[in-house]
Amino acid sequence: MDAYGKVGDLGRVVQVYKRMLEEDLSPNMVSYSILISGLCGNGRMLEACGIFGQIIKRGFGPSLITYGSLIDGFCKMGNLKDGFHLFDDMIEKGHQPDVVVYNVLLHGLCKKGMARSALRFFFNSVSKGLKSNIFIFNSLMDGFCRLKQLRNAVKVYMLMGMYSVKPDIVTYTLLVRGASKQGKLDAALLVLFQMLKRGFPGDAITYCTLMDGFCKHKNPTAGLQIFKLMQTNGVVPDIAVYNVLLNMLLKDSHLEEASKLFRQLVEKGPKPDIITYNTMICGYCSLQRLDEAISLFQQLTSLFGPNSIPYTILIDAFCKEGRMDEAMSMFSKMLEKGPEPNVVTYGCLIDGYFKSQDMRTATELHEEMLENQISPNIVSYSILIDGFCKQGLMLEASLAFCCALDRRLLPDVVAYSILIRGYCKVGRLVEAKLLCEQMFMEGVMPDDLLERTLVEYNL
C-alpha cells in the first residue's frame, strides 16, 4: 500500500486494502493512514470519513498524518467548518498540530476570502508555539491580494522580518501581481526592483504579471521595457509571456512586428497555444484584417478543435463592420461544429442587428438566448436598452431596464447613462431626473459622458 500510495495510485491502494479484508488481515494505523490520504487527495471525503470512523471504532488513536490528510481534504473542498472541527478534535486527543496543518487551515481561510480571520488565527497559533515559515506568510499575502487589500499584504510582508522568515520568489511575485491587478504599477515596479536588489532574478510569472498590468493600463512601451529587463536578467520567456507581448504589440498597432513574432514562435517555439491564436485573431480583427483573421481561425480549429472564443471574436468583427450575413453564417457554423455560444456571442449579434436597424432579429436573438437558458448579464441588457433608445422606443427600453432589476442585476453607470440620455433626447426630462436620483441612491457615480449629459440638460 505504501508503494502505491507514494505514486498516487489510489485504485491499487484500495485493491490491496480490500484484499487484506478478504484474507482476514487487520489493517494497522499505517494502512489506514495511507488509504485516508489517498481518498482525501482525490476528494472522496465521504469514504475517507467512513474509514476514519472505522479507526475510532477499532480503538486506534488517529495519527497526526491522518488528521492532516482529512483537514487538508475538507479545506480543499471549502468545508472549513469540518476542517476546524477535526483540528479541535486533534488537539483534544493530545496531538500537537505541525506547521503543515496550520498552513492548510490558513490557506483554506484565505481561499474563502477570510484573510483577516486567517491573520487572527496566525497570531493565535504563534502564541501557542507555532513556528511560522514562508508558506504561511505567502498564503496570508495571497489572501489579502485576492481581496485587493494590497496595504494589508504589504503589512504581512513587513511582519516576515519579525519572525526571521526571508521572502522567496513567490513572495515577490504575489506582491507584483497584487499591485499590478489594482493598477498600482509604480508599487509593482518598486517590488520588482527590491526583488532584483535581493538577488532574485524573478521568473516568467513575475515579469508576465507586470507586463500584463502595463498592457491593461494602456502603457505598452513600459511593458516592452519590462520584457527587455526580463531578458537582461536571464529569465527565459514562456508562451504566456509571449502572449502578453503579442497583445501589447497589437494594441499599439504594431501588426507587422506581432505577425513576425508569431511566425517566429511557430517555427522556433515556444509553441503557440490557443491564447496565442486568439490574441492574433483579435488583433487582426481590430485592425480590419479579417482575411488574415479567418486564415488563423482555420489553423486554430485544425490544431485545437472548435472553441467558442475565436468564433465570438470573428462574429463580433463581422458585426462591427455591418456584415451581418457573414456574422450569422459564422454563428450557424458555431452551432453546427459544437462550441456553445455564450452571453458574449449573443451580445455581439444583438448589438450588430440593432445597429443594422434590424430590431426584430435583435429581439428574437435575445429571446433565443433566454430559451437556451443562457443567463443575460447587465451588458446584455445595456445593449437592449441602447438599441431601443436609439429608435426612440423608451417604453421598451424601460422594460428592459426593469427586467435587469427583476433578475437582480445591478445596473452600472453604462446602463444608467444609456437610459438617462435616451430620456433626455426625447424630451422626457422628469423621467431622466428621477433615474438620476435612483442612480445616486444606489451609489453609482456618473462617468464623464453622463456628466456632460447632465450639464447639457441641466439635470
Q: DSSP letters along 198-210, please?
A: TT----HHHHHHH
284, 290 contact by CB (below 8 A): yes
Mean pLDDT in consecutive groups of 10 residues from the start of the chain, 459 residues: 50 61 62 75 82 79 84 90 91 86 92 94 89 92 95 94 93 94 93 93 92 89 92 94 94 91 94 96 94 95 93 97 96 92 97 96 96 95 96 95 93 94 94 94 91 88
| SS3 of 289-316 | CHHHHHHHHHHHHHHHCCCHHHHHHHHH
The CATH architecture that domain 1-97 belongs to is Alpha Horseshoe (1.25)
Q: Where are the domains of the chain?
A: 1-97
Distance from chain centroid for Cα 297: 25
Residue 27 phi, psi dihedral angles, 5° rounding: -60, 145
Please give the pLDDT value at position 3.
47
Q: Which of 183, 116, 182, 171 lies closest to 143, judged by CA?
A: 116
Render pLDDT for 175-208 as a digit per residue (tens, 0 to 9): 999 999 999 999 999 999 999 999 999 899 999 9
407, 376 contact by CB (below 8 A): yes
Please give the pLDDT value at position 105.
94
Cell 483573421 belongs to which residue?
Answer: 293
| Three-state secondary structure call for residue 122 | helix
Render pLDDT for 124-136 as a digit per residue (tens, 0 to 9): 999 888 888 999 9
Report the C-alpha gap between 408 and 386 in whole angstroms. Answer: 20
The set of residues, in sequence order, having a beta carbon less than 8 Å from that of 162 and lying 6+ positions away, is none
Report the C-alpha gap between 139 and 112 in whole angstroms. Answer: 12
Give the type of residue at 10: L
| Three-state secondary structure call for residue 223 | helix
Please give the pLDDT value at position 7.
45
Q: What percent of the chain has pLDDT over 70?
A: 93
Please give the pLDDT value at position 9.
53
Report the C-alpha gap between 26 and 118 in whole angstroms. Answer: 40
380, 366 contact by CB (below 8 A): yes
DSSP string, 369-438: HHHTT----HHHHHHHHHHHHHTT-HHHHHHHHHHHHHTTPPP-HHHHHHHHHHHHHTT-HHHHHHHHHH
pTM listed for this prediction: 0.79
